[in-house]
Amino acid sequence: MKVKICLGGAVVALLISVGVLAPVITPYDPNQQDLLAALQAPDYFAGKFFLGTDHVGRDILSRIIYGARISLVIASTVVLVSGIVGVGFGAISGYFGGRTDFAIQKAVEVVWAFPPLLLAIAILAFMGQGLGILIIALVAQRWIPYCRVARGQTLSLRARDFVTAARSLGASHGRIIGRHILPNLLQAAIVIGTFAMASAIISEASLSFLGLGVPPEIPTWGSMLADGREHISTSWWLALFPGLCIFMTVLGINLLGDGLRDILDPRLKRASSGVT
Amino acid sequence: MGATASAETRLTLGITSNLSTVNPYGDSASHLYGLWGEVYGNLCRYSFEKGGYVGHLAEKWEVKDENTWIFHLKKGMKFHNGTELTAKDVVHSFFRMSKDPESSQKQNSSRKIKSVEAVDDYTVRMISHKPTSSLLSYICGLWAISSKDVYDKYGAKEADKNHPYGAGPYRLKEFVIGNRLVLEKAEGSPFLRPGSPDIVIVRKMTESEQRVTALLNGEIQIAQFIPPHLLTRIEKSKSARLVPTSSVEIMFLAMNPAMKPWDNQKVRQAVCHAINREGIVKALLKGQAQLLQGPIGPGQYAYNPDHKPVYDYNPEKAKKLLAEAGYPDGVEVDLYTPVARYVNDKQITQAMVPMLGAVGIKTKLHTPEWVTQWANVRKGKVPFFYQGRGSVIDPGPALSQYFETGVSPRINFSSAEYDKLMQAERAAFDEQKRIATLRQAMSVLTEEAPACFMWTHTLQYGVANKVDYQPRPDGRPYMSEATMKN
Amino acid sequence: MLTYTVKRVVGTVPVLLLITLLVFGLLQLAPGDPADILLPEEATHEDIAEARARWGLDKPFHEQYLTFLASAVQGDFGESFRYKESVTELLVQRFPATLELTFFATLFAVLIGVPLGVWAGARPNSWVDNFGSVFGFFGISMPSFWMGIMLILVVSGYFNLLPSAGRETYGVAGATITGFYTVDSLIEGNWKGFVDALSYIVMPAATLGVNMLGILMRVTRSAILDVTHEEFVTTARAKGLSGQVVLWRHIVRNALITIITVVGLELGTLLSGSIIVETVFAWPGIGNLLINGLGTRDYPLITGVVLAYTVLFVTVNFLIDISYGAIDPRIRFD
């Protein structure tokens, strides 16, 4: 159990530090092209391009390092936004009940009736490209698991002694939710969040594959993988390295999530799932 | 499979574009024009070997006066259900092209042609709206001739779907929308060659690695459009080879003079000097393209071999032009490209960004979805874009469409001199005079530079060694021209 | 049970209505017009206006939506702009392909994932467990299109074992009865057709199923671990029942409910994953249809396919809920 957290934590820590230090540690500008040096095979420690170059002669290592940054930003923003939206609505829904609950749960039902990737595809196809829109598309459904779990927990918390006590002391609804309920919802949300992070990274790659990713000047692992697939049989390094990065990162985050779940909330079964 | 099947020859073609509808007039994509041409037959087709139009269902044609054309049909042409093809079927086909609400081919017929009548069973008279010297380019290889009797009996939908009888070399056996089309040899058709395959299967396969893999392991025998970086896979193969064809699709960078800074001719010319086309062709296209020095290249009608290159790769000159235009400190622009519509389009435009940046044109690249991009181009809302125009054998229509004042708002270019030349070109029935006028118009265009003309792609087909096939520049897959070797 | 079913079905109606409204709304917001994209390059403004009128796009939003609803209720989703064919008919043609693919993918995931999980859970921290865990994480962390392309290159390209794309060899399959080629060929006793259909479905199904396989393996493992320490298991052991009997009759049975819940949850992911897998393998299902429809703004087709997916998804969820009752009679529906 400890091993999982350590391994996962190490991967995530590495990812974060690489992302933060990107401008310092990259050998080249990720968008700097050199057509004459296009599609050079990795030369590891021997020459200029450690992991080789892509179809327009950009350094793959530099792009991967910047890609870590973008992937991290995308994944954590998605998780944060969907967590806030989901837990918020879940708490409101469970706390107030009645019509509010009904309306929110209907919305949940509608959004949840879409197979996961479908809604994201529709949003991106219809709203165009951009980092912001990509994040909206990825959040569109990811807030639901938080919402469901938070609602369930709030329902039981509402009846607990400390809440009724606070209410009898005249605390406002906002105060009760903020001070007494939300802190109790955090554990579950963190566990859901780690898994959602992994699935967000894979979803970004899948959407890039369908041509619905981010604009071309932003290096993401997903778009590198999607572009590189065209060259798989002849210049394998284009797709292999970003593919490995996605794999390692998702693996690391999943390990971390698994470990966290074992510690924080062993009862919580896999509430959110990977999206292919 | 029984004993007959063992002798049956089968050819599978992997294509990249869609198989949209059984209505032979319902789409205007060039592969479908070709496939329907094989099922229904055309009046005439363009022969790249002969460099001109040749008869198919029609024997010959003549120009009676500048608005009247007479077509003489071959005798004894039979539809697959056994009835003979006559002039009334040609009239009917024109009716379907121009009046069928689902027709996508109106522009190729009724816009230029006022009426089509049957003079007798084997003679058809066509009257054009205006004198149009290039009328054949609106007919040959385009019109599919379908049976009037079948249509009258079953109606359009039922006829196309369940009774698709044509007079071409292949009968339609199966059509799975968006996926697969199967043709079967029409025994005794005069258009078949010895060795033409018995069964032709056309499959949609969009992933290029997959097309190549399928070709190499024998799932398909002809793979369309092998991208430059995969050529080596086929070169190394023992079972298949590459067969190139030039393309009649002209690629260009359009600059919309209705928007700044493109209103300035010098900025436009600066772009043309800033791009290292040789470098791009070498690195990204692996040499699979011919540079254009004007709107068209060798093999296209009215090409001028004496035309001197105007825009060499010259960053210094580009910088100077930009400064003269009033942008000594550079200018910021947005470039739009479709993705995966043209060969390596995104990669090519990506490579252009630093080239333009080097002369002071700071470029941001946008890759909108094609639907969005195309809608905006059509409305004239895109300032600077990478674009191709296909099927340019005779450049007249395409050059009018993109560059003549008021024809379409795509580029919003306007030049009185150019417009006058284009009008003169259409009215010229004397070939030498027409060619001279067209060449003059194209020089004006090159000089004014509402677009930088880039190149035409060399299209590589992967063909199994047991098949003899020469693909056509216009992308019509005439499968009766493929022969199986034993 | 019956009242429960009726309640669920009735409850679905407003959800579906809202979904159609959502899709319609998104389509309105989308840039790009179907007439612009579907008409040929030479089309004039009049042609485009005429096409828009024919497709009803010139009418106000609410009118378009109501017209759609009126015919959708009768099972008619209109005619595809691009394919000029009834959307309902297209769905009927393509739906079995997607279902068959999804079914085989699930089968692949369950048949490998569950035993592997049971095995790993029964012997925690053995080499089986460690290998299984790595394998499971591998499945979860693999983008499916990446795996699909790899399979094509290695299995079809390098070893030439299986066909790289499509669903059948032309002429081998017999008549279409159910639309599931594996089933159809068996009904007809067409052994060759069955093998052919299988050879085409193996790679797409494995690609689609690998993610679920990973998850199932891990979930099964932890469910087994959880149950192993429960009282009734200890009791059964104390009674002297053999290890295998306890494992399968007591432990696995009780873990089943967790496993089924997860299968249900993951089926949604699997369904949408089919959109990508169908694109990679040129599989003629509705996912393929959807991607083409999006690219041409084929409104009726997009709406039809999205509805088909959601109905399927909702149905699956419903079936999963019902199956709880079958496994554990203590669960009641009201």
What are the tens digits of pLDDT across the range B36-65? 999 999 999 999 888 889 999 999 999 999
Residue B213 has its nearest CB partner, among C33, C157, C288, at C157
Between A237-264 and A182-209, two packed helices, what is the crossing angle to 10 degrees?
160
Asked if C15 reaches chain A (Cβ–Cβ under 8 Å), the answer is: yes
User: Half-sphere exposure (CA, 13 Å, Cβ side) for C147?
Assistant: 23
Residue A186: the pLDDT is: 86
Contacts of residues C84-91 at CB distance under 8 Å and 24 or more positions apart, as own/partner, are C84/B20, C84/B21, C84/B23, C84/B26, C84/B102, C85/B21, C85/B177, C87/C300, C87/C301, C87/C303, C87/C304, C88/C304, C90/B177, C90/C289, C90/C301, C90/C304, C91/C286, C91/C304, C91/C305, C91/C308
Residue A129 has its nearest CB partner, among B233, B354, B368, at B368
The number of residues in chain A equals 276
d(CA B115, CA B110): 8
Residues of B in contact with C52 (CB under 8 A): none
- Check B199 against C170: CB less than 8 A apart: yes
- Under 8 Å CB pairs connecting chains A and B tally to 64
d(CA C301, CA B167): 33
Residues with Cβ within 8 Å of C9's Cβ and at least 6 positions away in sequence, in order, are: none
Window from B15-24, C234-243, C262-271 with minimum mean pLDDT = C234-243
Residue A128 has its nearest CB partner, among B230, B351, B372, at B372
Q: C-contacting residues of A 131-190, CB under 8 Å? A: none
Which residue has 């005794």 as its token pair? B188
Would you list the DSSP string of A40-51?
Answer: PPP-TTSSS-TT
Residue C334: the pLDDT is: 45
Chains that touch A (3 or more CB pairs under 8 A): B, C
Q: A-contacting residues of C 276-305, CB under 8 Å? A: 276, 279, 290-291, 294, 302
Asked if C127 reaches chain B (Cβ–Cβ under 8 Å), the answer is: no
Burial of C31 (0-12, 13-18, 19+ CB in 10 A): middle
In this structure, are residues A64 and A245 in contact, taking their beta carbons and an 8 Å threshold?
yes
Residue A1: the pLDDT is: 55
According to DSSP, the β-strands at B451-464 and B199-204 are unpaired
User: Rounded to a whole number, what is the distance in Å from the CA of B172 to chain A's nearest CA?
Assistant: 32
User: Half-sphere exposure (CA, 13 Å, Cβ side) for C24?
Assistant: 18
Tell me the sheet residues that pair with B172: B183
| Phi, psi of A47, deg, nearest 5 | -140, -145
3-class DSSP string for C144-212: HHHHHHHHHHHHHHHCCCCCCCCCCCCCCCCCCCCCCHHHHHHHCCCHHHHHHHHHHHHHHHHHHHHHH
d(CA C293, CA C300): 9
d(CA B134, CA B136): 6
**Res. B3: pLDDT tops 50:** no
**Res. C241: pLDDT tops 70:** yes
Residue C198: the pLDDT is: 94
d(CA B471, CA C157): 25
**Res. B110: pLDDT tops 80:** no
Q: Which residue of C has its CA nearest to A261?
A: C222
The helix or strand, by DSSP H or E, that contains position B322, with its residue range, turns out to be helix B315-324
Q: Which residue of B has its CA nearest to C81?
A: B102
pLDDT band at C45 (very low <50, low <70, confident <90, very high): confident
- Check A121 against C137: CB less than 8 A apart: no
In this structure, are residues B439 and B302 in contact, taking their beta carbons and an 8 Å threshold?
yes
pLDDT mean by block of 10 residues, chain A; 276 residues:
82 89 87 83 78 88 91 91 94 91 89 83 81 92 90 87 85 86 86 84 87 82 86 86 88 83 59 36
Residue A276 has its nearest CB partner, among C157, C273, C294, at C273
Which residue has 């697959």 as its token pair? B80
Residues with Cβ within 8 Å of C16's Cβ and at least 6 positions away in sequence, in order, are: A113, C307, C310, C311, C314
Q: Per-residue pLDDT averaged across B401-407, rounded? A: 89
Structure-block tokens of residue A21: 């230090």
Question: Is omega for the bond preceding C284 within 30 degrees of 0, making it cis?
Answer: no
Put simply, whether the predicted model's pTM sits higher than 0.90 gets the answer no
| Phi, psi of A257, deg, nearest 5 | -60, -45
According to DSSP, the β-strands at B361-366 and B331-336 are parallel
d(CA C57, CA C45): 15
Residue B11: the pLDDT is: 96
Residues of A in contact with C302 (CB under 8 A): 122
Q: B-contacting residues of C 64-83, CB under 8 Å? A: 82-83
Residue A273: the pLDDT is: 37
d(CA B169, CA B197): 11
Residues of A in contact with B229 (CB under 8 A): 39, 55, 230-231, 234-235
d(CA B132, CA C63): 44
Residue A230 has its nearest CB partner, among B227, B354, B365, at B227
Q: Which residue of C has its CA nearest to B370?
A: C295
Which residue has 């030049």 as its token pair? B415
Structure-block tokens of residue A249: 């990162």
**Res. C132: pLDDT tops 90:** no
pLDDT band at B471 (very low <50, low <70, confident <90, very high): very high
**Exposure class string for A23-57: b at 16+ Cβ within 10 A, else e:** eeebebebbebbbebbbbebeeeeeebbbbbbbbb
Residue B44: the pLDDT is: 96
Residue C292 has its nearest CB partner, among B23, B178, B199, at B178
**Res. C174: pLDDT tops 80:** no
pLDDT band at C127 (very low <50, low <70, confident <90, very high): confident
The number of residues in chain C equals 334
d(CA C218, CA B247): 54
Amino acid identity at B168: G
Structure-block tokens of residue A27: 């050998």
**Across chain C, what does the average pLDDT equal?**
86
- Check A216 against B227: CB less than 8 A apart: no
Chains that touch C (3 or more CB pairs under 8 A): A, B
Residue B450 DSSP code: S
Q: Quick one: which of B456, B435, B397 has its CA closest to B302?
A: B435
R_g (Cα) of chain A, nearest Å: 22
**Across chain B, what does the average pLDDT equal?**
91
d(CA C290, CA A64): 32
In this structure, are residues C121 and C224 in contact, taking their beta carbons and an 8 Å threshold?
yes
d(CA B131, CA B126): 12
* SS3 of residue B149 by DSSP: helix
- Check B354 against A233: CB less than 8 A apart: no
**Res. B113: pLDDT tops 70:** yes
CA B217, distance to chain mean position in Å, is 30
Would you list the DSSP string of B192-238?
Answer: --TT--SEEEEEE---HHHHHHHHHTTS-SEE----GGGHHHHHT-S
User: Rounded to a whole number, what is the distance in Å from the CA of A128 to chain B's nearest CA?
Assistant: 7
Residue A223: the pLDDT is: 86
Structure-block tokens of residue C325: 């009752």
What are the tens digits of pLDDT across the range C271-288? 888 999 998 898 999 998
- Check B283 against A215: CB less than 8 A apart: no
- Under 8 Å CB pairs connecting chains B and C tally to 123
Q: Per-residue pLDDT averaged across B357-385, rounded? A: 91
Q: Which residues in A have their CB inside 8 Å of a CB on B?
A: 32-33, 35-36, 38-39, 55-57, 125, 128-129, 211-212, 215-217, 227, 229-235
Residue A232: the pLDDT is: 82
- Ranked by mean pLDDT, the top range of B134-138, C26-30, C36-40, C65-69 is C65-69
According to DSSP, the β-strands at B44-47 and B52-55 are antiparallel
Residue C331: the pLDDT is: 56
Structure-block tokens of residue B147: 């049976």
Residue A270: the pLDDT is: 40
What are the tens digits of pLDDT across the range B198-239? 999 999 988 888 899 999 999 999 999 999 989 999 999 999
